Amino acid sequence: MTQAPTLRRFPITVHHRQRGRTILLEVPEGEYILRSFEAQGEALPFSCRNGCCTACAVRVLSGTIDQRESLGISKELRAKGYGLLCVARALGPLEVETTDEDEVYELQFGRHFGRGKVRTGLPLDDE
């Protein structure tokens, strides 16, 4: 009789900047980091849980994540070290820090709003 292989567990450090806390937990290989932290009693920022809204965005300080399901973050920002914890799996020991509210959103879309307010032609536009 063969035994099922035991999953590896990786140490994950999250610097939760908004709360002024550093949290270190072990997350089993293949598990979403956000969900594993919640299951261990540590809530982190989130909204959609589907890799779309960027509420769970972090900056990776060391280590690598598999975030192939991240739809809400551009390839360029992923290359700069941003990740979405709701759809991120650690590939080894990892250290990240939470981002400021809307930081990733502004980095991705801010240039599109640089020309001022979008005009709709409705009377409220001129108030």
Binding footprint of ligand FES on the chain (CB under 6 A):
46-49, 51-56, 72, 84, 86
Q: What is the nearest approach in angstroms of ligand FES to the Cβ of residue 123?
A: 35
Instruction: Tell which residue, 81, 59, 83, 79, has the closest CA to residue 70.
Output: 83
In the bound state with ligand FES, the residue whose beta carbon lies nearer, of 10 and 33, is 33
Q: What is the nearest approach in angstroms of ligand FES to the Cβ of residue 72?
A: 5
For residue 52, give Cα distances in angstroms to 56, 92, 105: 10, 24, 11
Q: Is 124 helix (H, G, I), strand (E, B) or coil?
A: helix
Distance CA 74, CA 77 (A): 5
At 25, list the tokens: 């937990």
In the bound state with ligand FES, the residue whose beta carbon lies nearer, of 7 and 30, is 30
18 touches 97 (CB < 8 A): no
In the bound state with ligand FES, the residue whose beta carbon lies nearer, of 9 and 35, is 35
Q: What is the nearest approach in angstroms of ligand FES to the Cβ of residue 7?
A: 23
In the bound state with ligand FES, the residue whose beta carbon lies nearer, of 15 and 49, is 49
CB-nearest residue to ligand FES: 86
Instruction: Tell which residue, 57, 69, 50, 49, has the closest CA to residue 16.
Output: 57
Q: What is the nearest approach in angstroms of ligand FES to the Cβ of residue 5?
A: 29
